[in-house]
């Protein structure tokens, strides 16, 4: 989408679209981090924050690594890698909702 916007509207519109995309991607951080202080008190709040940050760090490392490994093992096709991501998201949703 970005090359089409660059060609049609110019770099100012592309910058505006990227700014909106990045701001919506980072909008989740404030409520997520405030959640710890709402439900946990004292040192447990900092422990909850640390657990969230560690899990996010592990996920941001292992996710792209797993996609690359799966993509290279399937003749450079992203189909299997994206199917893995979709199954992982459904599993995480079920885990969060307590369905497991």
- What distance in Å separates the CA atoms of residue 63 and residue 28, rounded to the nearest whole number? 19
Q: Are 31 and 51 in the same domain?
A: no
Q: Are 35 and 58 in the same domain?
A: no
Q: Average pLDDT in the 28-40 region?
A: 80
The pLDDT value given to residue 26:
84
**37 within 8 A of 52, measured Cβ to Cβ:** no
Q: Assign 15 a pLDDT band (cuts: 50, 70, 90).
A: confident
In this predicted model, what pLDDT tens digit does every residue of 39-64 receive, in sequence order?
Answer: 888 888 888 888 888 988 998 899 99
Q: Are 50 and 83 in the same domain?
A: yes
Q: Are 32 and 56 in the same domain?
A: no
Quote the domain boundaries for residue 25: 1-39
* Secondary-structure percent of the chain, ordered helix, strand, coil, rounded to 5: 85, 0, 15
> Residue 76, by phi and psi: left (phi above 0), alpha (psi -120 to 50) or beta?
left
Rg for the chain, CA atoms, rounded = 19
In this predicted model, what pLDDT tens digit does every residue of 72-87 receive, in sequence order?
Answer: 998 888 888 889 989 9
The pLDDT value given to residue 74:
85
Q: Are 29 and 67 in the same domain?
A: no
Residues sharing a CB contact under 8 Å with residue 47, sequence separation 6 or more, in sequence order:
40
Q: Are 71 and 26 in the same domain?
A: no
């Amino acid at each position: 989408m970005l090359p089409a916007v660059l060609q049609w509207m110019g770099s100012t519109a592309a910058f505006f679209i990227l700014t909106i995309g990045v701001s919506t991607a980072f909008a989740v951080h404030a409520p997520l981090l405030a959640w710890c202080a709402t439900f946990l008190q004292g040192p447990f709040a900092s422990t909850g924050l640390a657990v969230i940050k560690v899990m996010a760090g592990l996920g941001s490392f292992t996710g792209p690594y797993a996609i690359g490994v799966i993509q290279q093992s399937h003749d450079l096709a992203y189909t299997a890698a994206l199917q893995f991501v979709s199954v992982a998201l459904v599993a995480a949703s079920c885990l969060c909702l307590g369905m497991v």
